Chain A
Amino acid sequence: MYCINCGVKLADTEKKCPLCGVTACHPYIKQEEEVPLFPGQRYPTPQLPPRTAQIIITTLFLLPIFITLLCDLQINGAVVWSGYVVGALGMAYAIFVLPYWFRRPHSVAFTALSFMAIGLYVFYINQASGGDWFLTFALPVVGYVGTVVTAVAALLHRLRRGRLYIFGGAFLALGAFMPLMEYLIVATFCRPRFVGWSLYPMTALLLLGAMLIFLALNQPARERMERKFFL
């Protein structure tokens, strides 16, 4: 049988032309069943990536943790200042290194996990320094920003289109949160030197968000921007 598009002679194993992809068909010729050149659907097991890099990086993280703890315990006989270093390194590890232990790390799960690590570290600082700002300031701020960023990651993961809407919405949500954040700072730490600063980042974020939504709605404007800013 010959390919009706490119004219190449097809072996009886070919259901589609290997050169142009057109389905092999002829109204009068019935293709005989021949053994295919290679068996279908029998894929070799892929080689797992080596874990050497992860092991080296983990060691590099563990080394300062161990040294810091040892020094602190030697000098003070208890965990005094080393907890901040250990916490910071643990947080950095959870955010930057942990995903690389997985073959296909789930972006949404690891985004949420990163903010949980930040929340935990901030909670530790609050407790270790005897502060009372965690519940009234740190938790709402980290929680809100974490929710917005995780929602962006989830939408980007699920939806193939509409990135301008997603980022525009995220900027609007963050902008709207700015006055609340200022209020939380005032309520928690008192006596601010300058009231109303949140209007500036709020205006910038809302403008940016509105512009992205406008571009998402207006195709000619979007194309114009693409022409101006392509890389």
Chain B
Amino acid sequence: MSPIQNTPGGLRWMPLDNAAKIYPASRSRKWSNVFRLSVSLTEPVDTAVLRSALDVTVPRFPSIAARLRRGLFWYYLQQLEHSPELREESSYPLTPMSKEEVRRCALRVIVYQNRVSLEIFHSITDGNGALIFLKTLLAEYLQQKYGLAIPAEHGVLDRREEPREEELEDSFPKYAGPVQASRKGTNAFRMSGTPEPDGFLNVTCLELPVAEVLSKAHEYGISLTAFLCAAMMMAIQNLQAEQVPEVRRRRPVKVLLPVNLRPMFPSGTLRNFVLYTTPEIDPRLGAYSFPEICRVVQHKMGMEVNPKFMSTLIAANVSSEQIPVVKVMPLFVKNAVMKAVFRAVGERKSCMTLSNLGAVKLPRAMEPYVERFDFILGIQATAPYNCGVISWGDTLYINIIRNIREPELEYHLHCVLRDMGLTATVRSNKGRRS
């Protein structure tokens, strides 16, 4: 049986991909794994045109414009019959998606002034899949609004063509290696602070000139992602040194870096196809200098970010879902077990996630209409911070989200960057509130 089926009504349904299975099990009333991608235009958004553009775009992406349904043994995705309603912006992003909401539609489209935002439950797709959806939606919007002729390139898909099977496939089982990687690892330092009341989430956006950051990264002989990861690790190290004066009591500083697998394996999937690497330093061995951290990150990435190692990680993840006993276990039992494992192990192995979607490229005709892009990750279930990075044009946007009051990590990151001569412009969602 093909994994992607058509229902009698012509709506597609498909089992969740390997990486997506943990998200519905681990979600709770107060937390669900949701991320946001936004594009800000040079003019206010015309909601009528956007609605019409959504109506055209949604059928092209049956795996993204989808709802999450329960089977007896597994969850599955079902294509939406209609486009989702446009929503108004709130004073903070990424409120948890309730079970009912995910069952109705696992995708939010939010409009605020000149910004269109997508908030997506992570079971549906990863940042790269969501970016393709957003670019295609934007292309359709600009085409309808200004009559532009936009070619299907740089991640913009042709809205009139049928979705290809490879876009809807779960690519993980295809590329599982013969050897399974070990999941062992030390627990990381847990940042903490005063929780915000009523689940308020603080977003702080640091904006930096890409060229300057890139040239600084090249000074240390590393990529931009590795440089940002090193800067974040340095900031966490400094924060821990401030909060935990006794060196023996300090915990390893680890930052989880998602790795897009599409450039490594020939896959055109629009579903989750991402794994991770976790560079780490142990401050009990003494304070690391910035060049030392850069070397650690560079070597860790060099060792792990390659098809061979990633295939061992895929194999470890895929093998557990293919055990016959696990397959026939009812969904509620699987959920209970996965939730328990997630709570016990899940996020203890890193301090935070730093996800870099890279430089956004658009067809030339679209460029004059776009002001900026933003990528915001939801907070982790138990740790207060997360960080999403994206760059558009000359600017790098580092969006740090937290559910605590104290902006200490942001402050330390600013200090690390400032000491290297990188001046960030900062904006937040607290401006008019406090």
Spell out A's residues near B (CB within 8 Å).
6-11, 13-21, 35-44, 46-47, 49-50
Q: How far is the CB of B158 from chain A (nearest CB, A)?
A: 33
Q: Does B284 contact A (CB under 8 A)?
A: no
Q: Does B286 contact A (CB under 8 A)?
A: no
Distance in angstroms between the alpha carbons of A97 and B430 in the assembled complex: 38
Distance in angstroms between the alpha carbons of A15 and B432 in the assembled complex: 7
Given A9-B424, A15-B431, A18-B428, the answer on whether A42 and B204 have CB atoms closer than 8 Å is no
What is the count of residue pairs linking A and B with beta-carbon distances less than 8 angstroms? 103
Q: How far is the CB of A12 from chain B (nearest CB, A)?
A: 9
User: Does B410 lie within 8 Å of A19, measured CB to CB?
Assistant: yes
Distance in angstroms between the alpha carbons of A8 and B203 in the assembled complex: 16
Q: Does B433 contact A (CB under 8 A)?
A: yes
Residue of B nearest to A18 (CB): B428
Q: Mark B76-94, 1 if CB is under 8 A from A, else 0.
A: 0000000000001111110
Residue of B nearest to A49 (CB): B29
Q: Does B73 contact A (CB under 8 A)?
A: no
Q: Does B429 contact A (CB under 8 A)?
A: yes
Partner of A9, one of B198, B204, B425: B425
Show 26 residue pairs from A and B whose CB-CB distance is below 8 angstroms, ordered by the A residue.
Answer: A8-B418, A8-B425, A9-B424, A10-B425, A10-B426, A11-B207, A13-B427, A14-B428, A15-B434, A20-B407, A35-B113, A37-B205, A37-B427, A37-B431, A38-B93, A38-B112, A39-B112, A40-B431, A41-B433, A42-B89, A42-B90, A43-B91, A43-B92, A46-B199, A47-B29, A50-B29
Distance in angstroms between the alpha carbons of A6 and B114 in the assembled complex: 31
Contacts A43-B91, A49-B29 known; 12 new A-B pairs at CB < 8 A: A6-B414, A8-B425, A13-B432, A16-B434, A18-B431, A21-B434, A37-B427, A37-B428, A38-B112, A42-B88, A42-B90, A46-B199
Distance in angstroms between the alpha carbons of A11 and B425 in the assembled complex: 6
User: Does A36 lie within 8 Å of B88, measured CB to CB?
Assistant: no
Q: Mark B174-203, 1 if CB is under 8 A from A, else 0.
A: 000000000000000000000000111011
Given A11-B425, A11-B426, A50-B29, the answer on whether A38 and B203 have CB atoms closer than 8 Å is yes
Distance in angstroms between the alpha carbons of A14 and B203 in the assembled complex: 13
Residue of A nearest to B418 (CB): A7
User: Does B90 lie within 8 Å of A47, measured CB to CB?
Assistant: no
Distance in angstroms between the alpha carbons of A20 and B96 in the assembled complex: 28
Given A9-B426, A11-B425, A47-B96, the answer on whether A16 and B414 have CB atoms closer than 8 Å is no
Given A38-B93, A39-B112, A42-B90, the answer on whether A19 and B199 have CB atoms closer than 8 Å is no
Q: Does B98 contact A (CB under 8 A)?
A: yes
Q: Does B411 contact A (CB under 8 A)?
A: yes
Q: How far is the CB of A118 from chain B (nearest CB, A)?
A: 34
Q: How far is the CB of B205 from chain A (nearest CB, A)?
A: 7
User: Does A46 lie within 8 Å of B198, measured CB to CB?
Assistant: yes
User: Does B432 lie within 8 Å of A18, measured CB to CB?
Assistant: no
Give the chain B neighbours of A49 by CB distance below 8 A. Answer: 29
Give the chain A neighbours of B198 by CB distance below 8 A. Answer: 43, 46
Q: How far is the CB of B47 from chain A (nearest CB, A)?
A: 16
- Those 3 A-B pairs whose CB atoms lie nearest each other, nearest first: A40-B432, A18-B428, A11-B427
User: Does B407 lie within 8 Å of A19, measured CB to CB?
Assistant: yes
Given A16-B431, A47-B98, the answer on whether A39 and B426 have CB atoms closer than 8 Å is no
Give the chain B neighbours of A38 by CB distance below 8 A. Answer: 89-93, 112, 203, 429
Give the chain B neighbours of A37 by CB distance below 8 A. Answer: 203, 205, 427-429, 431
Distance in angstroms between the alpha carbons of A17 and B430 in the assembled complex: 9
Please indicate which of the listed interface residues A6, A7, A18, A19 has the most CB atoms of chain B within 10 Å of its own CB.
A18
Q: Mark B310-330, 1 if CB is under 8 A from A, else 0.
A: 000000000000000000000
Give the chain B neighbours of A11 by CB distance below 8 A. Answer: 207, 425-427
Distance in angstroms between the alpha carbons of A48 and B336 in the assembled complex: 22
Given A39-B112, A40-B433, A50-B29, the answer on whether A18 and B427 have CB atoms closer than 8 Å is yes
